[in-house]
Structure 1
Amino acid sequence: MLWIRFENRGREMDNEWKPKSLPFLGELHMIGLKVHKSEAEAVRRKLLSMRALSRRFKSLRVGDYVVFPLEREVKGLGEIIHASFQERKRTPPEIEGKFDIIGDIALISRAENEQEIAKELMKRKNIRVVAIRAGHREGEFRKMKIRLLAGENRLETIHRENKCVFKVNIGECFFDPRLSYERREVAKEVKENERVLDMFAGVGPFSIVIGKLSSPREIISVEKNQVAFSYLKHNIKLNKLDEKITPILGDSRDVVPVLPGKFHRIIMNLPERSKEFLPIAEEKLADGGVIYLYSIGESPEDVLNDIHMRVLGVRRVKSYSPKRYIFRVKLTR
């Protein structure tokens, strides 16, 4: 077994602890991040965004916990420990970062070598279907054209994240696994006995994660897409949240104004059009409440340009297209 000694290189810009470059001898004893398995996927994506996860080594399963190999030490995500990690079989460069995993379906971006990529992905034990995005998201319900490449003939799957379970058909409903960490972060801000409104609930990812990870008094989940609404109701039961979440089928433009009372947290995850609904949301916001508005722009200034409420913060969530991003804007009165 080879031990790595860490040194502080003393760089003024980042001042991070980094391992020395050492030859690989089969197994390395290095720093890792220990988290509960229910939080593993969200933390993994966060580590990737921070460029702190070592892709060279396999994660460890220790009972109900997962230990991620780290390139450098991070704070606030879990327990830092030392552990031995085995080198993983390298992901071929031609498919690195070009696919999402939703349940047991690998969804890849358009590529010239799509059959080679599908063949490589089907070797993984956790993947039963490989599909490809055949176009951009279109229409009011953000549906995407998807074509099957390999595996079973289906687009329905069971996806797990943040102690929650979601049944979803990726050809009929919008679902983004890359928002797993974002959903957990929003859920952590919800306080006990607060009322929550999810204006564009989809199959329920925000509503259900909030219901599982926090203690709101009530969650109202509004969804216009009949297919997504059916999955929303199913997922509420699947996660045993019937007494906490109330699903409503309809357009938020019509539904929200007639809802009784005010809400402490309002989720507006419809980046392409959320600003159109902001006046309706503001009318339903309780004193001291917070709106989480997701919008698309090139910069925070671009997103905030036509917003007149008080801004509590802006966070860049993910890329949307070249030079454009999805931002989360926290607003209050």
Structure 2
Amino acid sequence: MLHVKIEKKCGQETINKLKSLRLLDNNYKISSDDTYIYIPVTGKPDGYKTVEREALKSSRIEPERVSFSYDIIGSIAIIKGKSVEESMYLARFLTERKNIKTVYLDSGIEGEFRTRNLTLLSGDPVYRTIYHENGIRMNVDVGRAYFSPRLASERLRIAKEVRDGENIIDMFAGIGPFSILIAKNKLCNIIAIDKNPAAIELLDKNIGLNRMRGHITAIAGDSGILVSGYSGFDRIIMNLPHDSIKFLPIAIDAIVSGGLINYYEICDLDTLESRMEEFRDLGLEIVYKRIVHGFSKYLNMYSIELKKR
């Protein structure tokens, strides 16, 4: 295998140069001895000394070969890839991390309870793990109840915004990441509802796992039915980003004048503009809107705070 032989002090500069020339061979590892490093190349570059040398296959992930995203939840990694073959390529390297014991491929959300369609790629077929976020701990079962770590910053932002004494409904609570973080830090009362009994089972465990200033009542049921029987709340959290709009009128009726709705939706810019008009027509003032994260080429997840006029 052809390598560029260069003194160690010039190593990074040479690697960068070979990259710019598109001569660096990422399929093989860079090696070294006491004085020199040996950089695998696909051709002989001008001005550099080259030698023939045995080479080992590289463990580098080449972004140009695979388009992927992944989440790490406790000891479990979940990959969203284009294919099982591509995901296996990444899974090999994720399992080299000491804290990751299991790697799954997520082929999408399915069913009434929005659970992940998971395929085991590497490690033990374990679905339960303990996840740490912003000073709280949570039992997570990635096979039975949906959870995403990607809203960690958003959850912390909302928890800081809540004031002591608020009465809150968490309409689509899942395993309770919003509710747990808020109640840990604020003296408030929260009704946390989710349609998935497994999510509420985990939420109850998570309430016991954390010391909290506030109080959470966890209820398994359909928010579209249950919330219509409530009124006088100060804040409602609506984290059901594909369907929140369907439940917005129910939420409006359940909050006091001046009450707040933390609304989340995944949509494109045209839909977002039409939503702004809908909100105003429903008697809501837009306090702010922001992008939480990108979802696809044309879609973003938006966080919108709405005040009832």
Same fold by TM-score, threshold 0.5 exceeded?
yes
Q: Distance in 1 between matches of 2:205 and 2:211?
A: 10
Asked if 1:329 is matched to 2:299, the reply is no
- Give 1:209's aligned residue: 181
Asked if 1:318 is matched to 2:293, the reply is yes
Asked if 1:104 is matched to 2:104, the reply is no
How high is the sequence identity, in percent, across the aligned residues?
38
Unmatched segments (≥5 aa) in structure 2: 1-10, 14-58
- 1:70-219 maps to which residues of 2 (within 5 A)? 92-94=61-63, 98-110=69-81, 111=83, 112-133=85-106, 135-213=107-185, 215-219=186-190
Asked if 1:228 is matched to 2:199, the reply is yes
Q: Distance in 1 between matches of 2:187 and 2:113?
A: 28
**1:140–1:305: structure 2 CA closer, same or farther, 3 Å change rule?**
farther
Please give the secondary structure, in 2, of the residue aligned with 1:278. Answer: helix
Asked if 1:285 is matched to 2:236, the reply is no
Q: Are the aligned partners of 2:68 and 2:80 in contact in 1 as well (CA < 8 Å)?
A: no
Q: Are the aligned partners of 2:188 and 2:214 in contact in 1 as well (CA < 8 Å)?
A: no
Q: Are the aligned partners of 1:155 and 1:169 in contact in 2 as well (CA < 8 Å)?
A: yes
| 1:160-186 deviation line (CA, Å, top 9, x unaligned) | 101111111112211110100000001
- Deviation of 1:305 after TM superposition, in Å, equals 4.3
**1:291–1:233: structure 2 CA closer, same or farther, 3 Å change rule?**
same
- Give 2:36's aligned residue: none
**1:24–1:287: structure 2 CA closer, same or farther, 3 Å change rule?**
farther
Q: Number of paired residues?
A: 246
Aligned counterpart in structure 2 of residue 250 of structure 1, from 221, 224, 232: 221
Q: Distance in 2 between matches of 1:92 and 1:262?
A: 53
| 1:204-246 deviation line (CA, Å, top 9, x unaligned) | 0110111123x13211101111111111111111113496111
Q: Are the aligned partners of 2:187 and 2:213 in contact in 1 as well (CA < 8 Å)?
A: no
Q: Are the aligned partners of 2:184 and 2:211 in contact in 1 as well (CA < 8 Å)?
A: no
Q: Distance in 1 between matches of 2:93 and 2:12?
A: 25
**1:301–1:91: structure 2 CA closer, same or farther, 3 Å change rule?**
farther
Asked if 1:266 is matched to 2:236, the reply is yes
Q: What amino acid is aligned across from residue 153 of structure 2 in structure 1?
A: Y
- Deviation of 1:277 after TM superposition, in Å, equals 1.0
Q: Are the aligned partners of 2:187 and 2:214 in contact in 1 as well (CA < 8 Å)?
A: no
Q: Are the aligned partners of 2:184 and 2:213 in contact in 1 as well (CA < 8 Å)?
A: no
**1:324–1:239: structure 2 CA closer, same or farther, 3 Å change rule?**
same
Q: CA RMSD in A?
A: 2.4
Please give the secondary structure, in 1, of the residue aligned with 2:278. Answer: coil
- Deviation of 1:306 after TM superposition, in Å, equals 2.6
Return the structure number with greater helix share.
Answer: 2
- Deviation of 1:144 after TM superposition, in Å, equals 1.6
Name the TM-score, length of structure 1 as normaliser.
0.69
Larger Cα-atom Rg: 2
| 1:60-96 deviation line (CA, Å, top 9, x unaligned) | xxxxxxxxxxxxxxxxxxxxxxxxxxxxxx9623468
Q: Distance in 2 between matches of 1:24 and 1:212?
A: 47
Q: What amino acid is aligned across from residue 311 of structure 1 in structure 2?
A: I
- 1:4-83 maps to which residues of 2 (within 5 A)? none
Q: Does 284-293 or 112-121 show the bigger shift?
A: 112-121
- Give 1:238's aligned residue: 209
- Deviation of 1:99 after TM superposition, in Å, equals 1.4
Q: Distance in 2 between matches of 1:195 and 1:144?
A: 31
Q: Distance in 1 between matches of 2:233 and 2:87?
A: 46
Q: Distance in 2 between matches of 1:275 and 1:201?
A: 16
Q: Distance in 2 between matches of 1:143 and 1:157?
A: 16
Q: Are the aligned partners of 1:190 and 1:216 in contact in 2 as well (CA < 8 Å)?
A: no
Please give the secondary structure, in 2, of the residue aligned with 1:322. Answer: coil
Name the TM-score, length of structure 2 as normaliser.
0.74
**1:207–1:310: structure 2 CA closer, same or farther, 3 Å change rule?**
same
**1:296–1:115: structure 2 CA closer, same or farther, 3 Å change rule?**
closer
Please give the secondary structure, in 2, of the residue aligned with 1:270. Answer: coil
**1:207–1:297: structure 2 CA closer, same or farther, 3 Å change rule?**
same
**1:124–1:113: structure 2 CA closer, same or farther, 3 Å change rule?**
same
Unmatched segments (≥5 aa) in structure 1: 1-22, 26-89
- Deviation of 1:298 after TM superposition, in Å, equals 0.7
